[in-house]
Structure formats: structure tokens, C-alpha cells
């Protein structure tokens, strides 16, 4: 970002409201129980007619200890036996889902997320991948993007070698912060040595992309302390990608977050300073700021896809595979098939109960209407590319942009006056300050968020 970024208190207060992260549009709060297994089947039929490659997401929810900031769908347990019935159900679900899809369709993208996927043992990892390969055709190593989230406290060199052997070629590691005070305050004690050992093992095993997760906005963090963590990350780990997540503080929804002292959290002003400084530090070190939370080296697929106008957003953040329909497997998983999103049962008992009856575990979802598809195209374009070519979008969507989005124009004019965007009849261009507030800009095009944002989403700053 070359332009100067300046925020005064008034701007921060005005824009620091709750908003979605747009990993889908409509967002998950719009999913409803009218969407059933039958609705899913209709969308699968449509998807098979359209064809194209597939993407698989597996949710492995277990974690050994809880991190106080965590907003993921997880189950905390020391009892490793809990994974056994869960994995048996997952194997069953793989077979049920695979039977619905045209067997000629190749899986080009596969992801194990959590929770902590490496909670399960090596034998269980082998079996899960073997069952997947038994039912789906996976692309070869050069053409497939097969990724896994790793907690470095739960993986050693042998685990990393095994994961490469069974087919993974991309890895992301949860780090969050190297500072010992921050680690103590969030109950995640993880030494630099153990993190770097996993990074080295991933390199030695030829993982194609190594990504690290950090979070800003945690207790005790300051611009200086976070800059020190970043320095260690850049020089010690030298990852291909970095996610610098904006800490989502929603203690009403995630009770464990109440374990942290609210007074020790950085203010929105400090958070913005940390973000701005991180962008400067990482771009000086040769990374490209992709957008909302994500950075990548210029030759990494994400940066290349953005450069070529081919970036897409999905539940794992940014993605290069817009053409894949996504099958969600496991408790709480979200899928995106044809013109729909669907989510699996949200408790492990309900999930098990569906599979006991040999039924899909679909709990809720949504079929997109024509307006949803138009708004999704606009929001995706803005969040992935920070620019909207109005003429192209009018042709693609068969609309008159100014008429269709007349309601959004007063907000766009305000964003212009505040230096977040510039716009004319041909283009909306998001400026440097606006890139940090891209969620606010997208909300101007979001039919649903205007009324609902407050209780359901985290603050955008
Ligand atoms: C499922 S975890 C990654 C795998 C593994 N469980 C771990 O923690 O290493 C996904 C990532 O979500 C991010 N995360 C979790 N809770 C968050 C929150 N409240 N706000 C922002 N990011 C969060 C963390 O950076 C974490 O690494
Ligand atoms: S951050 Fe990762 S390890 Fe920590 S509780 Fe959340 S999912 Fe589990």
C-alpha cells in the first residue's frame, strides 16, 4: 500500500462497528433450517450438471488445551479416545457424500481444519486419507492443493513427514504471538524452538507452501511487542504466507474469552496502529498485502492469483480455486455446492445421530436468490481485488449498477469524503485506509448486515 494511512479518533469511532468477515455471502447467520438434505440433493444435481473440480473440507474439532482467545468450533478434551467414534462417523460421511457426486470429478483442493487436526494419531491420519482416496479421485501432487492446520505443540518431525507422505503439500501453523506475557495471558505457551522445528521439518519434506497464523489485538500486545514477534517470524521462519488475524472478541458467544482481562486488551486505536505497522514491516520484507488479514510472498499462488484478478474468498480465507464446489465434512462444517451454502450439525451428538441413521448431517443452509448472487459477486470482487470495474460487472450481471445499488451511494459518498475509496461511473477503487476497513465498505452492498450486525459479528477494528 503506497498511500498514506491516517485515522483520527472520530474516524475510528465511526467505523469501529461490528461486521462480517465475508468468508461467504450471505454469511452463516442467514442459514436456516428450511434448507434440508433434500435441498442439498437438488444443489448436488445442479452441481453435477455443471461439472468442474471439487474441494473437500474436513473438520477435526478436538484440542488438548484451550486458548482463551479461541473463536473456532472446537471440543477441548485430554481423552484421545473421543476421536475414535468421531472418525468412524467421518468415514461414513465421506462414503455418503462421495456417492452423490459424479465420480469423474477430481478433488483439486482438500483441507483439514479444526480444532486441531493433529490431535488424532498417525494411524488415524493415514486411515482418514485412505478412506478419502477410496471414495474420491484426488488430483496429483502438482495439480492439487492439499493443506492442513498444525498446532506446533501437537506435531513433531515424524508427524510432518507422515503428512507429506499421505499427500499434504501445504501447511499452516498456529503461532499467534511469540511474546511470553501474551502467551501466558491467552493460555498458549509455545516456544519459538518448537514452532521453528516444525517449519524446518516442513521445508525438509518439501511442503510447497508454509503459512503462519498470528493474531493482533491480544492482551498486552503493543506495536513494539508485535513488531518483535514479526521480526522473529520473518527472519526465523520466513513463511510463504502469513495470516495476521484481527482478534475477534465476542465473549457473549465464546465464554472462554472471559478468562482474559478485558483491561489488558489493546484499544481500537492501538490495534489499528499494530495493523498499519505490520503492513509496513511485512511489505518492507517483501510480502504483498493480499487484504483482510492475509500476506504472501509475490511468487506465492495467492499473490499471483490476486495479480491476475483470479482470487476468491472462502471459509478458509482467500483461495485460488473459485471454480471448485466445496463439500464440508465433519461437525459444523460448511459446504458451498452450486447455488447454496450448507452447514452440518453443530454438536457432536447430533452429528453422530445423523450418521447412525446413515443420513447426511446437514443441519441448515441457504439457497442463493438472484439478488444474493449479484451482491456476492460485488463483495467478492471488492474484498479480493480492492477495485470494482463497474462496466464489466454490469455486463456480467446484467444490471444497471447505479440503479441497482442506489441505496449504497450515500455510504459510498461518505467513504469517499473519508478517504477510504474513490469512485466514478466506471470504477470503485479502495484506497489504502479503505483496505483496512474493507468490511465496512462491503457492508454497504450487504442486504442483510445493515439490520443484524451488532450481536452477531466481531468489531471490524
Ligand atoms: C483452528 S486454529 C489453527 C490450528 C490449531 N488449532 C492451532 O491453534 O494451532 C485456526 C486459527 O484461528 C485463529 N483464531 C482463533 N481464534 C481467533 C479469534 N478469536 N480471533 C482471530 N483469530 C482467531 C488462530 O490464529 C488460529 O491459529
Ligand atoms: S486456537 Fe487452535 S488449539 Fe487453541 S483452542 Fe482454538 S482451535 Fe484449539
**Pocket mutation for ligand 1, best pick of 71, 148, 174 (most atoms within 8 Å of C-beta):** 174
How far is ligand 1, taken at its centre, from the CA of residue 208, in Å?
A: 22
CB-ligand 2 contact for 338 (6 Å cutoff): no
Nearest CA to ligand 2 atom 1: 70
For residue 70 and ligand 2, the question of a CB distance below 6 A is answered with yes
DSSP state of 247: P
The closest-lying atom of ligand 2 relative to the alpha carbon of residue 63 is: 8
Check residue 449 and give its pLDDT: 81
Please tell me the predicted confidence (pLDDT) of residue 362. Answer: 97
> Ligand 1 site: residues with CB under 6 angstroms?
63, 69-72, 113-116, 149, 151, 174, 176, 213, 215, 245, 247-248
Whether 282 and 290 have beta carbons less than 8 Å apart is answered as no
**Ligand 1: which of 57, 62, 64, 149 to mutate, most ligand atoms within 8 Å of CB?**
149
Identify whether the C-beta of residue 24 lies closer than 8 Å to the C-beta of residue 449. Answer: no
Q: 446 CA to middle of ligand 1, Å? A: 26
175 CA → ligand 1 middle, Å: 9
Q: What is the pLDDT of residues 315-363, one digit of tens each?
A: 878 888 777 999 999 999 999 999 999 999 999 999 999 999 999 999 9
Comparing 50-59, 184-193, 321-330, 444-453, which segment has the lowest mean pLDDT?
444-453
pLDDT reported for residue 12: 79
Would you say residue 1 has pLDDT above 70? no
pLDDT of residue 2: 53
In the prediction, which pLDDT does 450 show?
66
Residue 11 is predicted with a pLDDT of: 81
Which ligand has the minimum distance to the alpha carbon of residue 62?
2
d(CA 154, CA 67): 14
**Residue whose grid cell is 495470516:** 243
CA of 424 to the centre of ligand 2 (A): 44
Instruction: Please indicate whether residue 116, judged by its CB atom, sits closer than 6 Å to ligand 2.
Output: yes
Q: Kindly report whether the peptide bond that precedes residue 26 is cis, defined as omega within 30 degrees of 0.
A: yes
Is the Cβ atom of 66 under 6 angstroms away from ligand 2? yes
- 74 touches ligand 2 (CB under 6 Å): yes
Cα separation, 68 vs 65, in Å, equals 10
pLDDT tens per residue, range 414-440? 999 999 999 999 999 999 889 989 999
- Dist CA 31 CA 434 (whole Å): 29
Write the pLDDT tens digit of every residue in 263-319: 999 999 899 899 989 999 999 999 999 988 899 999 999 999 999 988 988 887 888
Give the residue whose CA is nearest to atom 16 of ligand 1. 70
- The closest alpha carbon to 160, from 126, 198, 196, 111, belongs to 198
Å from CA of 389 to ligand 1 middle: 34
pLDDT at residue number 317: 82
Contacts of 141 (CB under 8 A, 6+ apart): 167, 169
DSSP state of 117: G
Instruction: State the ligand closest to the CA atom of 218.
Output: 1
pLDDT tens-place string over residues 27-70: 999 999 999 999 999 999 999 999 999 999 999 999 999 999 99
What is residue 418's predicted lDDT score, i.e. its pLDDT?
Answer: 93
What is the crossing angle of helices 157-166 and 122-135, to 10°? 10
pTM: 0.95
Give the chain's count of helices (H) and strands (E).
18, 20
How many residues does this entry show for the chain?
461
Amino acid at each position: 500500500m503506497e498511500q498514506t494511512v491516517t485515522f483520527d479518533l472520530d474516524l475510528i469511532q465511526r467505523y469501529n462497528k461490528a461486521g462480517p468477515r465475508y468468508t461467504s455471502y450471505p454469511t452463516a447467520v442467514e442459514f436456516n433450517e428450511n434448507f434440508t438434505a433434500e435441498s442439498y440433493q437438488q444443489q448436488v444435481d445442479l452441481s453435477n450438471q455443471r461439472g468442474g473440480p471439487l474441494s473437500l473440507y474436513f473438520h477435526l474439532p478436538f484440542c488438548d488445551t484451550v486458548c482463551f482467545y479461541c473463536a473456532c468450533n472446537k471440543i477441548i478434551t485430554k481423552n484421545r479416545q473421543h476421536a475414535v467414534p468421531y472418525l468412524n462417523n467421518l468415514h461414513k460421511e465421506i462414503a455418503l457424500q462421495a456417492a452423490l457426486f459424479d465420480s469423474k470429478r477430481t478433488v483439486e483442493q482438500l483441507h483439514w481444519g479444526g480444532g486441531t487436526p493433529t490431535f488424532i494419531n498417525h494411524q488415524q491420519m493415514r486411515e482418514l486419507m485412505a478412506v478419502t482416496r477410496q471414495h474420491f479421485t484426488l488430483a496429483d501432487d502438482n495439480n492439487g492443493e492439499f493443506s492442513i492446520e498444525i498446532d506446533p505443540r501437537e506435531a513433531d518431525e515424524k508427524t510432518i513427514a507422515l503428512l507429506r507422505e499421505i499427500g499434504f503439500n501445504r501447511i499452516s501453523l498456529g503461532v499467534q504471538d511469540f511474546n511470553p506475557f501474551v502467551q501466558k495471558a491467552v493460555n498458549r505457551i509455545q516456544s519459538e524452538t518448537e514452532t521453528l522445528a516444525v517449519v524446518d521439518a516442513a521445508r525438509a519434506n518439501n511442503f510447497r507452501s508454509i503459512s503462519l497464523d498470528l493474531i493482533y489485538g491480544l492482551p498486552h500486545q503493543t506495536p513494539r511487542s508485535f513488531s518483535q514477534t514479526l521480526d522473529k517470524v520473518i527472519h526465523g521462519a520466513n513463511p510463504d504466507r502469513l495470516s495476521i488475524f484481527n482478534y475477534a472478541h465476542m465473549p457473549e458467544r465464546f465464554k472462554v474469552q472471559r478468562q482474559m482481562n478485558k483491561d489488558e486488551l489493546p484499544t481500537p486505536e492501538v490495534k489499528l496502529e499494530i495493523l498499519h505497522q505490520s503492513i509496513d514491516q511485512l511489505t518492507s520484507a517483501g510480502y504483498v498485502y493480499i487484504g483482510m488479514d492475509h500476506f504472501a510472498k509475490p511468487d506465492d499462488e495467492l499473490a499471483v492469483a490476486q495479480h491476475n484478478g483470479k482470487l476468491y474468498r472462502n471459509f478458509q480465507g482467500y483461495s485460488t480455486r473459485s471454480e471448485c464446489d466445496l463439500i464440508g465434512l465433519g461437525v459444523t462444517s460448511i459446504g458451498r455446492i452450486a447455488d447454496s451454502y450448507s452447514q452440518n450439525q453443530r454438536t457432536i451428538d447430533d452429528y453422530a445421530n445423523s450418521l447412525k441413521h446413515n443420513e447426511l448431517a446437514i443441519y441448515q443452509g441457504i439457497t442463493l436468490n438472484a439478488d444474493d448472487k449479484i451482491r456476492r459477486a460485488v463483495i467478492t470482487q471488492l474484498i479480493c481485488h480492492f477495485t470494482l470495474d463497474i462496466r464489466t460487472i454490469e455486463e456480467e450481471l446484467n444490471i444497471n449498477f447505479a440503479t441497482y445499488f442506489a441505496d449504497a451511494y450515500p455510504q459510498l459518498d461518505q467513504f469517499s469524503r473519508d478517504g477510504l475509496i474513490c469512485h466514478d461511473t466506471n470504477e470503485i477503487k479502495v484506497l489504502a485506509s479503505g483496505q483496512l476497513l474493507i468490511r465496512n465498505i462491503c457492508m454497504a452492498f450487504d442486504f442483510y448486515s445493515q439490520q443484524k450486525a451488532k450481536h452477531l459479528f466481531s468489531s471490524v477494528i
